[in-house]
Amino acid sequence: MCYPDWLPDMICLEEYGGNWEEYLEAIYKVFKADFIDSIPLFIGMRVGVKKYPLLRCKESSFWHLIQEGDIEADRSPNFRRCERVPWPRPIIDNYPDDAIRFWKNERRGKTRILLWLWECDYLVVIEDRGDYFLLITAYPIRNEPRRKKLEKERVEYWNSIKASAAPKDDADTFSTRGR
């Protein structure tokens, strides 16, 4: 696996002697620096985070980055997600690097942009809110069926773009490059 030189190292629980509380504070410090203390931009618009509900004085988006589960109230920490907390910001910052495959999809009537760090099997999802983007989630892709489903969705998106007319405005410019 070839990691881009702009991608930071993962942060592992073992580096904190297995102490969950110290580890949680360390990865939150990275999240805070990347998304609260400074604001990333994607195609010239800010990328915000969902602040509420706060849990243990930490934003909702942080918990969504480090936990998994279908029911929001019953999500639990996933150490593979935790280790990669340093990755979403550089992926957003380094778009349109060739290491990142991207496309749009619709979820619950909202447009989402998927940024897939292909060789590392890591996906960042942001939502178009009109005048800004919202960080929705980011996670490692852990199995072949999920990888195939994402690839199929990406290919279908680009095939539909090729079949349609040219983009109508600058907001769709990023879509014209194709991957």
Q: What value does the mean pLDDT take over residues 111-123? A: 97
Helices (H), 57-102: 60-66, 79-83, 88-94
What pLDDT is stored for residue 176 in this prediction?
45
Strand ranges inside 2-132, DSSP E? 41-42, 45-48, 67-68, 76-77, 100-107, 110-117, 122-128
Q: What value does the mean pLDDT take over residues 28-45? A: 98
Hey, what long-range contacts does 161-169 have (CB within 8 A, 24 or more apart)?
none
CA distances to 96, 119, 141, 148, 163 from 144, rounded to whole Å, are: 25, 13, 8, 6, 28
Q: What is the pLDDT of residues 66-81, one digit of tens each?
A: 999 877 677 899 999 9
Q: What value does the mean pLDDT take over residues 160-176? A: 64
Report CA 56 to chain centroid distance, whole Å: 22
Confidence of residue 170 (pLDDT cuts 50, 70, 90): very low
Query: Could you state, in order of their start, the residue ranges of all structural domains in the chain?
Result: 13-140
pTM of the model: 0.89
Mean pLDDT for the chain? 91
